Chain A
């Protein structure tokens, strides 16, 4: 049922005729195909519902105007910055979609090292602007094409540089939100107009309402501006990028070192990573290329660094005995970058890393010390501009397992997880047979180390229905395995309780049935009460998990 003309007219009056559409074709491009970047939900051969209209607000005032109308007429809404994942899309037939593309400003306070950004200032451009003044940012692992504001407000946001810079929530300073009630709140030091520099307080932190371990995925309103902490960038003001497309390479000065560290087994890996966590030596650490799969990673590196390389080269490369030796050498590996802020600093950190390798029995891959490879990896890892290679094989990717945030627990079960995936690769044809272990992820998920994340990349064909269904079945099996091991929720299922397979929201009753069984149901019961304050009409979908308080006597 289309929006009434009265409501449409009111919305159009806010954003202008050019920035609103209810054309069916346009609206179709605002549906998420759950076989494509569904983000820990699915994959499903289904799309999210079609919005009634899509709007492009250009300012906080416009967002507030829109939200007030939605409140007045009980129209649901969701805002998204880049629409990369299912989280940003609506989940109701009576909903409108906000596309935040027009809000993209960046202001940098170079001295105090933070940037004030709007939703569509994607990581790549924030980083590029920051580098002009000798700074950079924590790029979320999802890649530089995503919105750091959305990562901070909406999701988790750890990345390769979290070890030295912290994750998205740790880099979040003052912020501005249009709550789902239509009220505007400014968090931290911004609230009283002191500036953007502090994300906490006043007293209890109002930002605590709006994001926790994960952000509120747009389900409590719209974050319209945010200050994020920046970090020193001891490199050139613009990454010098050379080479032939797609094999671009950076050439950075000597204070940057780039290695692939290898270990003989997972115990040594855990030991080495733990020492790295404790010793402030890295700028960046990410198990990156294993996402292509244990068997295929070096073949893919050869293909990607050769401008003429193609996927049909894989079989020959995998069969190459010399390359196989390299691949075996890199079986348990992680990519790291040292960035010294001075020559001495770089030298110390380089020596310290060697010492860590000595203590943990690790070594540096010779193959990855080749200058062309080093320059490729530097470009790749610092800009995180090739993250979309997670789709390279056929177009479909999802992350599963997750294992444990405890490095030592994950290390123990890694081979078993790998074997489970390998079983599905060999006994079915639903997922790409990349060699079992296809784990990739940040060396740690918060600043200074400690917890880690172990996401396996599962590749499938988003056009092939059996492949889509088979992948979902595989994730059900990994969930079974995770539960048997006491490891909790499989990453592929993290958002399974956020919306149904058909893309629609869960009802309150359905959420009640799920969350009343939680180990600590108070968590979601309090979230219900918070939602009542911030989003009294429940206008933004069911990613914000709630339990009716009366179900547990609250």
Chain B
């Protein structure tokens, strides 16, 4: 029987195909409750040509591929194979930043580029990339963007999937193309750049929105080998303020108003305990901060850029402060336990090896979905009740509400921290995770990014979408070799 490792070795070189136990174990499971499934090997790809070769081989040999771009601990289950005989395609070594264009505010990155690496490269050109909340050091920008991780600045998220623009993709059928306006030119970036085409517009290029078939797909349609991303102008002044409250309901109308008036460079709502996890460097510090910090806090950022930055910041500080007062709140540079500039630094920290969420108890499970802000308190109440029923300490549950898409919807996240070494705690956390996911889904939560069990939860309620996704899978990955078993398709 043909051993796929030999075919892979011919494509990437023997030294880049590994089946030793540490490599296998690294991908056989992740930090989620996903069932263990070891791959047969891990292959390190270094170029799009190699990726294409790997995909073609996989089609010939009916081998499942699981693409991975980030390093460090994975937590959503999408990097763990669902079927035996899978091969991990590790692109974390593809670290080229192919182009930085200040004039167009664009950058083109390979899958292995991390947020820290990208920010450093862009800073010299007076730019930065929008980020999610404190991504870990090994997080691939490309995979984060494809997974539609919520960005901090909803008001610059005109397109839900910003900053993603064009991509180069190797589809599951082995064909390679560019999506977006990149698809209208030759299949060669340098030729496009010579013609002053900078892969700025991500839609299409014609009537099919190819890149929207890749976002949220968990690697089930194809493998992206570069992406062009829209950059932000780097702020010359940046400040973060805190608006404390006793109940999340007290912050809802405030957030609505601030977003509606198009103020803030970033805004989110967090439970005090979750903020403590972000700020604390140890479990004990997290516990201590939790006691000091208010139960709820809105974190409001203001920033100035090239044009009259001080005036802009001052105007927004005053305006947002007035909005806070109208709702009986105060916008403060600090609260007991937290100063604005430390919060800001932690929010934007891209260098932590481990996720900040692990600081408290070492292990955690996130439940996240998309909703509108007015419904968030209902989900929060429901989660509290479920935690009490499950015997999980409700006060430990972190809550994070992040506006997206100019405020039309919100990312709603619950973090369930637990000690992995304590089997009872882990079991309680797992049961709560499952029960809460089911309950939230039944309440109408929208699992936009349907990882793990959420895929079935979401798609079982939406037969037509499920059918469409299956059909799309049939087009782009007819032999079902791309992350087989994921997304319930």
Q: Which residues of A contact B (CB under 8 A)?
A: 111-114, 164-166, 169-170, 173, 183-187, 189, 191-195, 197-209, 211-217, 219-220, 229, 231-232, 234, 274-275, 278-279, 281, 341-342, 344-345, 347-348, 351-352, 355-356, 404-406, 408-409, 445-448, 450-451, 486, 488, 519-520, 522-524, 526-527, 529-530, 533, 544-545, 554
Binds A, one of B62-70, B174-182, B281-289: B174-182
Asked if A545 and B455 make an inter-chain contact with CB atoms under 8 angstroms apart, the answer reads no
Asked if B215 and A204 make an inter-chain contact with CB atoms under 8 angstroms apart, the answer reads yes
B159 at interface by CB-CB < 8 Å: yes
Besides the known contacts A448-B158, A450-B106, A522-B175, 9 further A-B residue pairs in the complex with CB atoms under 8 A apart: A184-B464, A194-B371, A200-B160, A201-B370, A202-B450, A203-B448, A204-B215, A355-B308, A520-B186
Q: A211-B207, A554-B175 are in contact. Are A406 and B306 (CB under 8 A)?
A: no
CB distance from A166 to the nearest CB of B (A): 4
Q: A202-B459, A229-B408 are in contact. Are A281 and B475 (CB under 8 A)?
A: no
CB distance from B107 to the nearest CB of A (A): 13
Asked if B374 and A205 make an inter-chain contact with CB atoms under 8 angstroms apart, the answer reads no
Asked if B458 and A192 make an inter-chain contact with CB atoms under 8 angstroms apart, the answer reads yes
Asked if B450 and A201 make an inter-chain contact with CB atoms under 8 angstroms apart, the answer reads yes
Give the number of residues in B that approach A within 8 Å (Cβ atoms).
94
Asked if A197 and B372 make an inter-chain contact with CB atoms under 8 angstroms apart, the answer reads yes
Q: Out of B105, B187, B216, B230, which one reaches A205, CB within 8 Å?
A: B216
Q: Out of A187, A526, A554, which one reaches B208, CB within 8 Å?
A: A526
Contacts of A351 in B (CB 8 A): 308, 311
Residue of B nearest to A113 (CB): B408
Contacts of A356 in B (CB 8 A): 307
Asked if A533 and B475 make an inter-chain contact with CB atoms under 8 angstroms apart, the answer reads yes
Q: A173-B408, A206-B469, A406-B196 are in contact. Are A201 and B448 (CB under 8 A)?
A: yes
Asked if A275 and B261 make an inter-chain contact with CB atoms under 8 angstroms apart, the answer reads no
Q: Out of A279, A408, A526, which one reaches B307, CB within 8 Å?
A: A279
Q: Out of A214, A231, A520, which one reaches B183, CB within 8 Å?
A: A520
Q: A198-B405, A201-B446, A344-B319 are in contact. Are A523 and B212 (CB under 8 A)?
A: no
A369 vs B177: C-alpha distance in the bound complex, in angstroms? 50
Q: Which of B215, B233, B319, B468 has the most CB of A within 10 A?
A: B468
Residue of B nearest to A281 (CB): B307
| Complex A-B, nearest 5 residue pairs according to Cβ-Cβ distance, in ascending order | A447-B158, A213-B204, A208-B212, A166-B158, A212-B204
Asked if A183 and B464 make an inter-chain contact with CB atoms under 8 angstroms apart, the answer reads yes
Asked if A523 and B205 make an inter-chain contact with CB atoms under 8 angstroms apart, the answer reads yes
A112 vs B252: C-alpha distance in the bound complex, in angstroms? 12
A405 vs B373: C-alpha distance in the bound complex, in angstroms? 36
Asked if B159 and A450 make an inter-chain contact with CB atoms under 8 angstroms apart, the answer reads no
A355 vs B214: C-alpha distance in the bound complex, in angstroms? 41
Asked if A348 and B308 make an inter-chain contact with CB atoms under 8 angstroms apart, the answer reads yes
Q: A204-B214, A275-B306 are in contact. Are A198 and B159 (CB under 8 A)?
A: no
CB distance from B256 to the nearest CB of A (A): 6
A444 vs B213: C-alpha distance in the bound complex, in angstroms? 25
Q: Out of A114, A217, A526, which one reaches B408, CB within 8 Å?
A: A114
Q: Is the interface of A mostly helix, strand, loop or mixed?
A: loop
Asked if B103 and A274 make an inter-chain contact with CB atoms under 8 angstroms apart, the answer reads yes
A215 vs B209: C-alpha distance in the bound complex, in angstroms? 9
B260 at interface by CB-CB < 8 Å: yes
B123 at interface by CB-CB < 8 Å: no
A42 vs B315: C-alpha distance in the bound complex, in angstroms? 51
Q: Out of A183, A212, A545, which one reaches B210, CB within 8 Å?
A: A212
A476 vs B263: C-alpha distance in the bound complex, in angstroms? 48
Q: A204-B472, A527-B208 are in contact. Are A113 and B260 (CB under 8 A)?
A: yes
State which residues 446-469 of B face A: CB under 8 Å: 446-450, 455, 458-459, 461-462, 464-465, 468-469
CB distance from B145 to the nearest CB of A (A): 13
29 contacts between A and B (CB under 8 A): A111-B256, A112-B374, A169-B159, A185-B468, A189-B448, A193-B461, A197-B409, A200-B215, A201-B450, A202-B465, A202-B469, A203-B469, A203-B487, A204-B472, A206-B469, A212-B204, A215-B207, A232-B262, A278-B233, A278-B305, A279-B233, A281-B307, A341-B260, A344-B319, A352-B307, A450-B105, A520-B186, A533-B475, A545-B206
Residue of A nearest to B369 (CB): A194
Asked if A203 and B455 make an inter-chain contact with CB atoms under 8 angstroms apart, the answer reads yes
Asked if A195 and B444 make an inter-chain contact with CB atoms under 8 angstroms apart, the answer reads yes
B346 at interface by CB-CB < 8 Å: no
Encoded as 1 (CB less than 8 Å from any A CB) or 0, chain B from 430 to 451 comes to 0000000000000011111110
